[in-house]
Amino acid sequence: MTVNLSLPQKADLTPVKGFAMGIAEAGIKKANRKDLLVMTLSPGSQVAGVFTLNRFCAAPVQVCRGHLALDGTKGEIRALVVNTGNANAGTGEQGMKHALETCQALAKELKLNPEQILPFSTGVILEPLPIQKIISALPKAVANLGEDHWFDAAEAIMTTDTQPKASSVTVQTPAGPVVLTGICKGAGMIHPNMATMLGFIATDAGFAPGLLTTLTREVADLSFNAITIDGDTSTNDSFIIMATGQSSVSIQSTSDPSYVVVREALITLARKLAQMIVRDGEGATKFMTIEVLGGKTPEECKLVAKAVAHSPLVKTAFFASDPNLGRILAAIGYAGIQDLDVNRVQMWLGDVWVAKNGGRNPDYQEVDGQQVMQAPEITVKIDLGRGTASQTIWTCDLSHDYVSINADYRS
Amino acid sequence: MTVNLSLPQKADLTPVKGFAMGIAEAGIKKANRKDLLVMTLSPGSQVAGVFTLNRFCAAPVQVCRGHLALDGTKGEIRALVVNTGNANAGTGEQGMKHALETCQALAKELKLNPEQILPFSTGVILEPLPIQKIISALPKAVANLGEDHWFDAAEAIMTTDTQPKASSVTVQTPAGPVVLTGICKGAGMIHPNMATMLGFIATDAGFAPGLLTTLTREVADLSFNAITIDGDTSTNDSFIIMATGQSSVSIQSTSDPSYVVVREALITLARKLAQMIVRDGEGATKFMTIEVLGGKTPEECKLVAKAVAHSPLVKTAFFASDPNLGRILAAIGYAGIQDLDVNRVQMWLGDVWVAKNGGRNPDYQEVDGQQVMQAPEITVKIDLGRGTASQTIWTCDLSHDYVSINADYRS
């Protein structure tokens, strides 16, 4: 079940000049499914990434961090390799060895240094990566490289996702058009910082050194770090922006007039991709936007939004279309703002003002709340009444299917 | 469904001298069910309580705090009144008025000051308390007062509980025997600090002023504050210890030889009661003990234990009897210990050593993990390898029935 999520159309996914993808079936967990993706970048490209904060971060995440930290001294990043079916996490020294071997094997195929490769894995944790299967399938993925394989790439990185996730946009900047196309995956173990998600966006814009790194962090915070499904932060989350610089647009600083346009487009695209993950959240039947405003700081607004978004009681009430609003107030109350004056808290369900000055709005009619709850997309707005900061989080409900998916399958 | 939880036997619930209970059917939410409990204490009794830290704490919780803070200046606490079916939370000024009116009405019946009464409510949040129904039923509850009504009292405070929860113990101290009997309720919205739970323990021991207050906080931390079902902290949680002093045992200080015996008995009884709540957790099919040791501080051990106990992915894996241990490592990794060296982390499932030095134990066989997972009671032991502190949390799994219970009923 998905919430207002349509299948991406191949024709809508614009190729990005200088960026190619090749897919193979390596048989990592199951036979006859695309489970290996190689991506290559033309010389002169820039790559920046944001990774999970989980201390049990997977071996490939550690290798990515290491290779990016080399800062081009062993050659710029020129290729990425993603496998599904196994996360290569909780695998100790052997896991690190496997991640490096994957880079070495692909480097040999592409005549690059291993340090020019970023590896990614997603799937089951604590099981050894079947490295031979990956190495054997790499030549097939390389032979398949092409600029118009976005849809297949989106399919190749799926795990418990019910459908591929991809989107594309072309924007006009003062210096000419820029193409941005991205794919992502993730359906469970989704929580800011970050989700069990992989997100890759490529653009043909160029960036001055350093600029892309700052921008990637900013974009992640406003998109993939603002979604949550079950509050579980994965070991493998990675979000990568790749800029080939093959268009006429080369952005030298944040005051560059093209910067504003490309930044805005990146945020919009990344949010759309991140929200696709929520819309395809494990067992999701409702898409919920939790908007918290009137806080002293964005951090305390996020605390409250997360408490509401994570509460199993709130999530099951939304699944049931039951305006059990007391559960939301309870979550606000335990979010962790010690000096919260609940008498200043207001809450709206869609347009309906349900809680006024910390209590039930005397004008609130349950029938109105009930009506809002029927919709597949619902916004909960909370005003803390103590400042001007705000924060928004996107999440989904908790249904029978979430339990089934996570109890019945080894994911 | 409950996990190894047997029905308390009336004959096993020893009356506490000086402590009486009266039950009535007030029809607060449903007709023909016990939903009102009055408890009275003989003159000279002492009462101490620990309450929810939720900022949206219910009106009765605020009144309890206020009356206890008076410290006997308006007369000692002599009676308690509990209603189910409505939490009187998120009800604003009217809610406060209703809580005070409940005290006034009972005070009139018992010829006490309203400040000598502690009120408790549990049930749905954000709906007005049907105060007239309560006031009308109070005389019936008072007429029913008796020392041997423990079982009925346990039934009267149930909400989504599937069975009453009560336990009793008599211990020998150097100064003579002491009786301790307690009841509690709670099945969902259960999380340390505190659960949607009400817990009441009465004893015929006597205490010097102040001593019971410190002891109650200590007992709560080792029992009701160490359980979690869904991570939701309720608006109404209260844990009360009442000491009538009607036995030969009067404890004057912590160095009193009887103190050690009574303290130990209180902790054991409170833990047993708290664990009954987990065993009757909404939809519970498994009782899990999460033991974290080798931490630098008890606080960081608790962080890790809570992350594991709250993870929906871990909880659904236990429901499925699937030793998906990577999910536990992932939870340890995101618990919030920034400088955790995962290479020093060990993990056991029951007696089976599954994770060694941060990775899969090479000697671990999945069949051994599978066997442990079949049991209804499972201990997860985690050694952080960085200190000597430890912490234990009790929790249950996340099943289809949890979703059904919380989606289908307005609780």
Q: Which residues of B touch A400 (CB under 8 A)?
A: 400, 403-404
Stretch among A19-23, A178-182, A314-318, B295-299 having the lowest mean pLDDT? A314-318
CA B369 from centroid of its chain's CA atoms = 31
CB contact under 8 A, A94 and B230: no
Contact B57 A407 (CB under 8 A): no
pLDDT at A399: 80
**Residue B195: pLDDT band by 50, 70, 90 thresholds?**
very low
Provide the pLDDT confidence category of residue B271 given band limits of 50, 70 and 90: very high
pLDDT at B404 over 90: no
Asked if residue B188 has pLDDT above 90, the reply is no
Q: Per-residue pLDDT averaged across B161-189, rounded? A: 92
Residues of A in contact with B334 (CB under 8 A): 53-55, 191, 193, 232-233
Question: Which pair of structure tokens corresponds to residue A195?
Answer: 């989700």
Test A410 with B316 for CB contact under 8 angstroms: no
Residue among B313, B359, B407 whose CB faces A91 most closely: B359
Nearest CA-CA distance, residue B45 and chain A, Å = 33
CA dist., res. A138 & res. A150, Å (int) = 18
pLDDT of residue A103 exceeding 50: yes
Assess contact for A358 and A348: CB atoms under 8 A: no
pLDDT for res A191: 47
The predicted model gives A387-402 an average pLDDT of 88
> Considering all CA atoms of chain B, what is the largest pairwise distance in Å, rounded to the nearest integer?
71
Q: Do A403 and B408 touch (CB under 8 A)?
A: no
A196 is an annotated ligand-binding site residue:
yes
Mean pLDDT of B379-397: 94
B203 min Cα distance to partner chain A (Å) = 32
pLDDT of residue B405: 72
Q: Which residues does chain A have within 8 Å of residue B311's beta carbon, measured at their own beta carbons? A: 230-232
CA distance B41 to chain A (A): 32
- Which range of B109-118, B221-230, B336-345 scores highest in mean pLDDT? It is B109-118
- Helix/strand/coil (H/E/C) assignment for every residue in chain A: CCCCCCCCCHHHCCCCCCEEEEEECCCCCCCCCCCEEEEEECCCCEEEEEECCCCCCCHHHHHHHHHHHCCCCCCCCCEEEEEEEECCCCCHHHHHHHHHHHHHHHHHHHCCCHHHEEEEEEEECCCCCCHHHHHHHHHHHHHCCECCCHHHHHHHCCCCCCCCEEEEEEEEECCEEEEEEEEEECCCCCCCCCCCCEEEEEECCEECCCHHHHHHHHHHHCCHHHEECCCCCCCCCEEEEEECCCCCCEECCCCCHHHHHHHHHHHHHHHHHHHHHHHCCCCCCCEEEEEEEEECCHHHHHHHHHHHHHCHHHHHHHHCCCCCCHHHHHHHHHCCCCCCCHHHCEEEECCEEEEECCEECCCCCHHHHHHHHHCCEEEEEEECCCCCEEEEEEEECCCHHHHHHHHHCCC
From chain B, the residues in CB contact with A188 under 8 A are 313
- Does residue A333 or residue A43 have the better pLDDT? A43
Asked whether residue A188 carries a pLDDT value surpassing 80, the answer given is: no
Mean pLDDT, residues B315-339 taken together: 86
Percentage, residues of chain A above pLDDT 70: 95
Is B185 annotated as a binding-site member?
A: yes
pLDDT(B190) > 70? no
Which residue of B320, B337, B411 is in closest CB contact with A407? B320
Closest approach of chain B CAs to the CA of A392, in angstroms?
21
- Asked whether residue B233 carries a pLDDT value surpassing 90, the answer given is no
CA within 13 Å, CB half, B312: 33
Sheet of B287-295, strands arranged across: B227-228, B389-396, B287-295, B377-383, B346-349, B352-356, B359-360
Give the closest of B54, B322, B327 to A334, CB-based.
B54
> For residue B121, is it left (φ>0), alpha (ψ between -120 and 50) or beta?
beta
State whether A324 and B410 contact (CB < 8 Å).
yes
Task: Please give the mean pLDDT across all residues of chain B.
Answer: 91
- On whether B159 is known to bind a ligand per the annotation, the reply is yes
Nearest to A120 by CA among A195, A199, A46: A199
Q: How confident is the model at residue A336 (pLDDT cuts 50, 70, 90)?
A: confident
* Whole-number percent of chain B with pLDDT over 90: 69
* Cβ–Cβ gap B333/A398 under 8 Å: no
Of B55, B330, B410, nearest to A333 by CB-CB distance is B55
Residues of B in contact with A411 (CB under 8 A): 324
d(CA A315, CA A301): 19
Taking alpha carbons only, the member of A315, A283, A313 closest to residue A393 is A315
Per-residue pLDDT band for A193 (boundaries 50, 70, 90) equals very low
* Angstrom distances, CA of residue A141 to CA of A17, B91, B96: 19, 62, 68
| Residues in B touching A322 (Cβ below 8 Å) | 407, 410
List the structure tokens of A1: 């079940």
Smallest CA–CA distance from A237 into chain B, residue: B330
CA B64, CA A140: separation in Å to the nearest integer?
71
User: Closest partner residue to A56 among B54, B332, B406, by Cβ?
Assistant: B332
pLDDT recorded at residue B411: 43
What's the pLDDT score for residue A231? 58
CB contact under 8 A, B407 and A191: no
Does B334 contact A233 at a Cβ distance shorter than 8 Å?
A: yes
**Lowest mean per-residue pLDDT among A132-136, A147-151, A403-407, B141-145:** A403-407
**B352-372 average pLDDT score:** 91
Catalytic residue status for A196: yes
Min Cα separation A349/chain B (Å): 14
Higher pLDDT, A4 or A260: A260
Distances (CA, A) of B394 to B50, B230, B306, B319: 19, 12, 9, 15
- CA nearest to B188 within chain A: A313
Taking only the tens place, the pLDDT of each residue in A227-239 is 876 656 677 889 9
3-state secondary structure chain B: CCCCCCCCCHHHCCCCCCEEEEEECCCCCCCCCCCEEEEEECCCCEEEEEECCCCCCCHHHHHHHHHHHCCCCCCCCCEEEEEECECCCCCHHHHHHHHHHHHHHHHHHHCCCHHHEEEEEECCCCCCCCHHHHHHHHHHHHHCCECCCHHHHHHHCCCCCCCCEEEEEEEEECCEEEEEEEEEECCCCCCCCCCCCEEEEEECCEECCCHHHHHHHHHHHCCHHHEECCCCCCCCCEEEEEECCCCCCEECCCCCHHHHHHHHHHHHHHHHHHHHHHHCCCCCCCEEEEEEEEECCHHHHHHHHHHHHHCHHHHHHHHCCCCCCHHHHHHHHHCCCCCCCHHHCEEEECCEEEEECCEECCCCCHHHHHHHHHCCEEEEEEECCCCCEEEEEEEECCCHHHHHHHHHCCC
Residue-level pLDDT at B240: 95
The pLDDT value recorded for residue B4 is 86
Amino acid at residue number B64: C
Residue A185 annotated in ligand binding: yes
The verdict on whether residue A86 carries a ligand-binding annotation is no
Residue from A406, A410, A411 whose CB has the most chain B CBs within 10 Å, to mutate: A406
Question: Which positions in chain B touch A95 (Cβ < 8 Å)?
Answer: 359
Q: Interface pTM (ipTM) of the complex?
A: 0.72
Distance in angstroms (rounded) separating the CA atoms of residues B192 and B52: 9
**By percentage, how much of chain A surpasses pLDDT 90?**
69
Taking CA atoms, what residue in A is nearest to B192?
Answer: A334
Q: Which of B40, B52, B102, B196 is catalytic?
A: B196
Please, are residues B386 and B344 in contact by the beta-carbon 8 Å criterion? Answer: yes
CA distance B233 to chain A (A): 6
Neighbours of A271 (CB within 10 A): 18
As a whole number of angstroms, the distance between CA B144 and CA B268 comes to 30
Over 90: is that where the pLDDT of B53 sits?
Answer: no
Per-residue pLDDT averaged across B33-58, rounded? 93
CA of B247, closest CA in chain A: separation in Å? 40
Q: What distance in Å separates the CA atoms of residue A291 and residue A389, rounded to the nearest whole number?
A: 11
Q: Which of B381, B195, B183, B158 is nearest to B288 (CA)?
A: B381
Confidence class of residue A194 from pLDDT cuts 50, 70 and 90?
very low
Cβ contact (<8 Å) for B324 and A124?
Answer: yes
Ordered structural domains, chain A, with CATH: 10-279 (3.60.70.12), 287-408 (3.10.20.340)
Residue A258 assigned ligand-binding role: no
**Overall average pLDDT of the A258-269 stretch:** 96
**Closest residue to B91, CB basis, from A317, A340, A360:** A360
Q: What is the mean predicted confidence (pLDDT) over B14-29?
A: 97
Poorest-confidence range of A216-225, A307-316, B190-199, B271-280?
B190-199
CB-defined contacts A:B, below 8 A: 222
- Range B171-196 average pLDDT: 78
Chain A neighbors of B124, CB-CB under 8 A? 324, 326
Contacts of A320 in chain B (CB under 8 A): 406-408
Measured CA to CA, the distance from residue A380 to residue B241 in angstroms comes to 39
What's the pLDDT tens digit per position in B338-351?
A: 899 999 999 999 99
d(CA A253, CA A206): 11
User: Per this entry, what is the length of chain A?
Assistant: 411
Residue A321, token pair as written in the block? 């279309």
